[in-house]
Every structure is written in C-alpha cells, then in structure tokens.
Amino acid sequence: MARRRKKRKIIKKAVKIPTLFQCPNCGSNTLSVVFAKGESGRKAIVSCSRCGLYYEYGNVPSIYQAVDVYNKFIDLFEEGKVKVEFKEAAGLEELAEEVSEELEGMEEAGEE
C-alpha cells in the first residue's frame, strides 16, 4: 500500500526595498531620498547625512519610489549633468554643543 506524496511547500521571501543608499561622493550608506509636495508637483530631495550632498529632483512621477529616484540621481551624477550642493547637516553642531554641556554638568555633579 503506497501513500500519496506530500506536496512541497515553497516559501517565498519578500524583498525589502532599502531606505538608505550608498553615496556616490563619500561611499557611505547614508544617502536618503525624501518625497515632498512642491509648488510644481511632487519633488524628491536626495541628501547624504555624512558629506552633506544635497540635490532636489523636481517633477517626480507619482509611480516613482525611492529606488527609482536614487537610480536616476546616480545616472545624472556620473554623467556630470547634475549640479549638486553641499550643505552642513542641520543641527549637528548644536546637538554636539548640548551633549558636551550635559557631559560637563554630569562631571561637575560627580565631583561634588
């Protein structure tokens, strides 16, 4: 008496789309793509938190995701067709000052 064979269950793994990408300028994985509604439609802001690379990509189609904008930005960056700004990371200097003040306050409290 033979038994029926069990069907093999195939487990599908979902592919997770990344949120941080590799910066073409500094090489670190700190490049982010943020979407915003502008005056002339949807725009994407590409920025690196390490080196300060900043680019605004206007009139982004609604079907585009962060990966699509990143790929478009890399193509334009490598061709030299994009003018990129470098901005300081907002608030990092102020945050560093606050942390150093807190550490000094803790050290003084510990000495007394």
Q: What is the pLDDT of residue 97?
A: 54
11 domain-assigned: no
Q: Is residue 4 part of a domain?
A: no
* Number of folded domains that form the chain: 1
- Give a yes or no: residue 65 inside a domain: yes
Range of the structural domain that residue 94 is part of: 20-111
Tens of pLDDT along the chain (112 residues) come to: 677 778 888 888 888 888 899 999 888 898 999 998 877 788 999 988 888 888 888 889 989 999 999 999 999 999 988 788 777 654 445 544 554 555 555 455 544 4
3-class DSSP state of 49: coil
Close Cβ partners of 86 (under 8 Å, ≥ 6 residues apart): 51, 52, 53, 54
Overall pTM > 0.75? no
Check: CB of residue 87 under 8 Å from CB of residue 69: no
- % residues pLDDT > 90 (the chain): 27
Residue 24 lies inside a defined structural domain of this protein: yes
SS3 97: helix
pLDDT digits (tens, 9 = 90+) for 36-65: 887 778 899 998 888 888 888 888 998 999
Residue 13 resides in a domain: no
Q: What is the pLDDT of residue 92?
A: 46
Residue 79 placed within a domain: yes
